[in-house]
Amino acid sequence: MSSTEIDRGNWGSKLGFILAAAGSAIGLGNIWRFPYVAGQNGGAIFVLIYVIFVVMIGLPVMISELSIGRRTQKNPVGAFKVLFPKSFWKYVGGLGVITGIGILSFYAVIAGYTVGYFIKIILGDFNHVLTGDQSAAIFTSFTANPYVSISLLFLFVLLTVMVVMGGVSAGIERWSKILMPILFVLLILLAIRSVTLKGAGAGLSFYLKPDFSKLSLTTFARALGQALFSLSLGMGTMITYGSYISKKDNLVTSAAYVAFFDTLIAILSGLVMFPALFAMGLDPAGGAGLVFVVLPSIFAKMPGGMIFGAGIFLLLAVAALTSTISLLEVPVAYFVDEHKWTRKKAVIWMGVITFIIGIPSALSLGANSVLSTIIRKDFGFLDMMNAVFGNYSLSIGAFFISIFAGYKWGVHAVAKEIEQEGSIFYYKKLWMFIIRFICPIAIFFILSYIAWTGNYF
Ligand code: TRP
């Protein structure tokens, strides 16, 4: 073991890595973002394309990122520099560092709202909520308060900073292990309640019966962004995480586990959201407030619903925290490795910058009228950040990573890294074909279409 390996820490075990990587992947992307993006893009048809993209683009790119990270033991910028010094590739890593801050800035706003909802439920604010409209009114007035939104943003950035300051395995692993399984069980119980509500059938068919007439190329663009976002790909999170996996572990099976659990949770949360949404007569294309509106109206119809509700929002906040940790870890690892900052300095500075950039997002769900409608009536600053960093920046990153793995560093170099210590590279030939010919071409085509039509948001 080299000295850098000792300094940077290592995952305790293969399971530890899978849980932590799943902790990064599973978060608001699955439970907040997936249902509302699916709702805006035609429901089942979106879900179908999403799943295809997870397998055809997400998994191959994840394998690439993990192997780059394990080989180089570095942050994204350092990783490209080690493999090809003095080439332009380090800028791909640089884009990832910026994207990490960009995503974190709005992600922490929504994560803050989950904490806020936990507190509101405890305070009994939802005890008389029965209809979807009542629930929607509560969300609207909650996010219209600038002090609440900014304080919750601050709180969540602070929490993330505190955990990341503690270092890798100690901080992250401990959280993911215990709490993700509980979240899973609660979601199953909620899904059962949701599908048995009166009027749930329409929601189930919206979610599960594809309507091909709703298919457009824009759907592909949104599904690609969502797949990359949900799997934490395209900005080097998995490069950074890969740098902490042991050479003994099989990267391919690890990646497959992570992708499987992540997709399972997303699908499950759609199963919670859509039946209830239709039963309450709400609009599936309602946007970023969807989860916050739908969940409380389900709790109202469950015995002990408010205890349940408090539990789910608390766990959602924890799931968000294991993701924000991974987002902050990328810029932090960059400044520690490349600029020799102390971990403490890097974490504090990145935290301050994230908080400042997050403020306009925090004010854009009603608190400030200009920020709330910056792109159009129902599309504010947070939505814009979400599209720019959460869709396009990740798609561009994933494009370059697939070119890098497929052509520059090359498929044989990746294979060699994966086949360390006798590990088997399952579906090697298939992966080689996909990473060279499917991923870059599909992503290029989708991005060109969006640029061509100007249909960015
Ligand atoms: N995947 C996480 C979620 O679904 C969010 C996240 C964490 C992320 N790290 C990332 C998204 C890196 C994109 C890139 O909530």
Of 365, 285, 336, 438, which is closest to residue 112 (Cα–Cα)? 365
Of 224, 227, 251, which is closest to residue 64 (Cα–Cα)? 251
The answer to whether the CB of 29 is under 6 A from ligand 1 is: yes
The answer to whether the CB of 114 is under 6 A from ligand 1 is: no
**CA gap 51, 33 in Å, rounded:** 15
**CA gap 263, 256 in Å, rounded:** 11
pTM: 0.95
pLDDT for residue 166: 76
pLDDT for residue 181: 86
440 vs 299, more confident: 440
How close is the Cα of 23 to the center of ligand 1, in Å? Answer: 9
Residue 379's beta-bridge partner residues? 376
The answer to whether the CB of 27 is under 6 A from ligand 1 is: yes
pLDDT of residue 170 exceeding 60, the answer is: no
How close is the Cα of 133 to the center of ligand 1, in Å? Answer: 31
The answer to whether the CB of 323 is under 6 A from ligand 1 is: yes
pLDDT of residue 175 exceeding 70, the answer is: no
For residues 401 and 434, the answer to whether their CB atoms sit within 8 Å is no
Of 53, 132, 143, 70, which is closest to residue 443 (Cα–Cα)? 53
**CA gap 132, 135 in Å, rounded:** 5
Return the minimum-mean-pLDDT range out of 59-73, 315-329, 347-361, 430-444.
315-329
Q: What percent of the chain has pLDDT over 70?
A: 95
> pLDDT-derived band of residue 317, with 50, 70 and 90 as boundaries?
very high
Q: Tell me the best of 229, 241, 386 to mutate to test the pocket of ligand 1, counting ligand atoms within 8 Å of each CB and taking the most.
A: 229
pLDDT for residue 171: 54
Q: How many CA atoms lie within 13 A of 167 on its CB side?
A: 8
pLDDT for residue 17: 78
pLDDT for residue 14: 73
For residues 77 and 334, the answer to whether their CB atoms sit within 8 Å is yes
pLDDT tens digits, one per residue of 386-398: 999 999 999 999 9
How close is the Cα of 127 to the center of ligand 1, in Å? Answer: 33
Return the minimum-mean-pLDDT range out of 6-10, 103-107, 201-205.
6-10
How close is the Cα of 198 to the center of ligand 1, in Å? Answer: 34
User: Which amino acid residue places its CA nearest to atom 4 of ligand 1?
Assistant: 29
Q: Over range 228-255, report the average pLDDT.
A: 92
Both structure tokens of 183 = 């979240």
**CA gap 274, 251 in Å, rounded:** 35
Q: Over range 417-429, report the average pLDDT.
A: 95
Q: Over range 58-75, report the average pLDDT.
A: 96
Of 310, 420, 337, which is closest to residue 82 (Cα–Cα)? 337
Q: Tell me the best of 323, 385, 401 to mutate to test the pocket of ligand 1, counting ligand atoms within 8 Å of each CB and taking the most.
A: 323
| Domain 3-453: top CATH class | mainly alpha
How close is the Cα of 223 to the center of ligand 1, in Å? Answer: 15
pLDDT for residue 169: 47
Q: Let me know if 216 is exposed, middle or buried by CB neighbors in 10 A (0-12, 13-18, 19+).
A: middle
**Mean pLDDT of the residues in the chain:** 92
Of 354, 423, 395, 403, which is closest to residue 88 (Cα–Cα)? 403
**CA gap 405, 411 in Å, rounded:** 6
Q: Over range 362-379, report the average pLDDT.
A: 96
For residues 391 and 455, the answer to whether their CB atoms sit within 8 Å is no
**Residue corresponding to tokens 């080299």:** 2
pLDDT for residue 180: 79
Return the minimum-mean-pLDDT range out of 128-142, 195-209, 210-224.
128-142
Q: Over range 74-83, report the average pLDDT.
A: 95
φ and ψ at residue 379, rounded to 5 degrees:
-140, 95
Both structure tokens of 25 = 């992947």
Domain boundaries, the chain: 3-453
For residues 230 and 262, the answer to whether their CB atoms sit within 8 Å is yes
For residues 394 and 52, the answer to whether their CB atoms sit within 8 Å is no
pLDDT for residue 6: 40
**CA gap 41, 47 in Å, rounded:** 9
**CA gap 394, 180 in Å, rounded:** 25
Of 417, 394, 444, which is closest to residue 61 (Cα–Cα)? 394
The answer to whether the CB of 230 is under 6 A from ligand 1 is: yes
Q: Over range 236-256, report the average pLDDT.
A: 91
Residue 376's beta-bridge partner residues? 379
pLDDT of residue 75 exceeding 70, the answer is: yes
How close is the Cα of 261 to the center of ligand 1, in Å? Answer: 14
How close is the Cα of 22 to the center of ligand 1, in Å? Answer: 10
**CA gap 344, 364 in Å, rounded:** 31
**CA gap 104, 392 in Å, rounded:** 15
The answer to whether the CB of 24 is under 6 A from ligand 1 is: yes
pLDDT tens digits, one per residue of 259-294: 999 999 999 999 999 999 999 999 999 899 999 999
Q: Give CA 367 to chain center in angstroms.
A: 25
**CA gap 367, 344 in Å, rounded:** 33
Atom of ligand 1 nearest to the CA of 231: 1
Provide CB contacts within 8 A for 215, sequence distance 6+.
42, 45
pLDDT for residue 41: 96
The answer to whether the CB of 225 is under 6 A from ligand 1 is: no
DSSP label of 420:
G
pLDDT for residue 415: 97
**CA gap 34, 270 in Å, rounded:** 7
Atom of ligand 1 nearest to the CA of 25: 1
pLDDT for residue 5: 41
The answer to whether the CB of 386 is under 6 A from ligand 1 is: no
User: Which amino acid residue places its CA nearest to atom 10 of ligand 1?
Assistant: 232
Q: Let me know if 133 is exposed, middle or buried by CB neighbors in 10 A (0-12, 13-18, 19+).
A: middle
**Residue corresponding to tokens 């055809």:** 56
Provide CB contacts within 8 A for 171, sequence distance 6+.
163, 164, 165, 325
pLDDT of residue 366 exceeding 80, the answer is: yes
pLDDT of residue 100 exceeding 80, the answer is: yes
User: Which amino acid residue places its CA nearest to atom 7 of ligand 1?
Assistant: 323
How close is the Cα of 18 to the center of ligand 1, in Å? Answer: 15
Provide CB contacts within 8 A for 91, sequence distance 6+.
none
The answer to whether the CB of 322 is under 6 A from ligand 1 is: no
pLDDT for residue 3: 38
Q: Over range 251-262, report the average pLDDT.
A: 95
How close is the Cα of 39 to the center of ligand 1, in Å? Answer: 20
How close is the Cα of 300 to the center of ligand 1, in Å? Answer: 30
pLDDT of residue 2 exceeding 60, the answer is: no
User: Which amino acid residue places its CA nearest to atom 14 of ligand 1?
Assistant: 232
